[in-house]
Amino acid sequence: MILFILTELMTRLIIFLFAIVLIELYTFSAIKTIFNSRVKILYTILNTLIYLILIFQIFFFYDGNFNKFFSYNLTLIFILFISKSIVISILFLEDIFRIISIISNKFSIKKKINFGRRRFVSKLGLALGSIPIPFMVHGVLIGRYNFKVIKHVIHFKDLPENFNGFKITHVSDFHCGSLENKKKIEYGLNLINEQKSDLILFTGDFVNNTYKEIIPWKKLFSKLNAEKGKFSVLGNHDYGDYFRWKSENEKKKNFKNLKDIQKKMGFNLLLNDSIYVNKGSQKIALIGVENWGDGFKKKGDINKAISNLEEDDFKILMSHDPSHWEKIIINHKNKFHLTLSGHTHGMQFGIEIPGLIKWSPVKYRYKYWAGIYENKSQFINVNRGFGVLGFPGRIGIWPEISVIELRKG
């Protein structure tokens, strides 16, 4: 079994390295065709340096945490990879036509075949390959802070009368380890308070890995305020599973500190638990489960969380991963009127034009990936996330603050 896994990993590594070498050779052939030797030498030095820095970071400094330098270097390689992939697609097409030309001429000595790279095709490839670069740079510098307040009104026939017009601000995926610009983050958090909602609900992934990521932002998060309180649940990143801990005890201590610091900031963390939110003589149930995700940690226990509730209670569920709603909640014997999730980030990349198009590659992984969905008279809102992870930017899928108003009828 171990041998099979190692063989599988080695095969994937060889394929990956082969693809990298192929992309680099094709890109260099385009540069060689157009530019002089000085440019070629400069490109080779800079390109090699970027890869060497990444390799050095992985083997000597990487501890499971995406520090800013590592993240930005990886982002630079990713941007260049996208651009080079476009270049190689153009040059590869040229090679296919060249092969067809050779075959059609049957290696005729009467007609000379040009085996060199055409300057026009190389220029076209490099020009097209440069198109994504400004969009990605914009996503890193501006897009990640382009906070959008998205408002929804949802009607429920069985909503208690006193909660007609009740407002919930839903946020998710702060990922404090990736937060940078204090003024921009403060602006985003102020937007949350400006909604003056009855509840603020946060659906997981406060951090990338460790509770210490929150400390520089603790004061700002403590200022979040709502009349009926602010509540949170855990996401898959909050358990510290993606970090290289020195010991299991260190990991457990971090987890405890993460829960404690949320409490100190005024968040009521619901761990497979529920509470009632009262308004006058009426109430609704607020439920929070630990992370449950298809392909991720499954600690969420919905039956435990609702054990003290009545079946006919109006229920709002906080669950980090929308696959939980798809796989478990929709078909549960109890009705969950509204579920709030995050996790997908909308992949931080896509195209959204209200009423016309809503697309992101993440849709091929998650059926419910952004916005409001309804199934069997039950609703889910999948928040696009407040922060970022991995790629430190957003293109077309902006950081979101959801405001949901409950209406009777």
For 309-351, write each residue's pLDDT tens digit. Answer: 999 999 999 999 999 999 999 999 999 999 999 999 999 999 9
Beta carbons of 380 and 368 less than 8 angstroms apart: yes
The reported pLDDT for the residue numbered 93 is 82
The first and second tokens of residue 254, run together, are 């971090």
The DSSP string of 235-270 is -GGGG-TTS--S-HHHHHHHHHHHHHHHHHTTEEE-
Please tell me the pTM assigned to this model.
Answer: 0.85
Beta bridge partners of 359: 351
The CATH number of 148-408, from 3.40.50.150, 3.30.70.100, 3.30.360.10, 3.60.21.10, is 3.60.21.10
Q: Where in the chain is the domain with CATH 3.60.21.10?
A: 148-408
How high is the pLDDT of residue 5?
A: 64
Mean pLDDT, the chain cut into blocks of 10 residues (409 residues total):
68 80 82 82 84 74 62 78 84 79 63 60 82 89 96 97 97 95 97 98 96 97 97 97 93 97 97 96 97 95 96 97 97 97 96 91 96 96 96 95 96
Nearest in space to 80 (alpha carbons), one of 15, 137, 124: 137
Q: What is the pLDDT of residue 110?
A: 53
Separation CA 5–CA 9 (nearest Å): 6
Please name the amino acid found at residue 297: K
DSSP strand pairing (378-382 vs 371-375)? antiparallel
Q: Burial of 374 by CB count in 10 Å (0-12 exposed, 13-18 middle, 19+ buried)?
A: exposed
Contact 371, 382 (CB under 8 A): yes
Please report the pLDDT score of residue 54 as a whole number. Answer: 74
pLDDT for 373: 97
Q: Quick one: CA dihedral 251, 71, 11, 82, positive or negative?
A: positive
* Alpha-helical runs (H) found in 142-216: 182-194
Asked if residues 291 and 323 have their Cβ atoms less than 8 Å apart, the reply is no
- CA angle 105–25–99, rounded 5-degree value: 10
Instruction: Quote the CA–CA distance of 156 and 168 in Å, as a whole number.
Output: 15
Beta bridge partners of 200: 169, 230
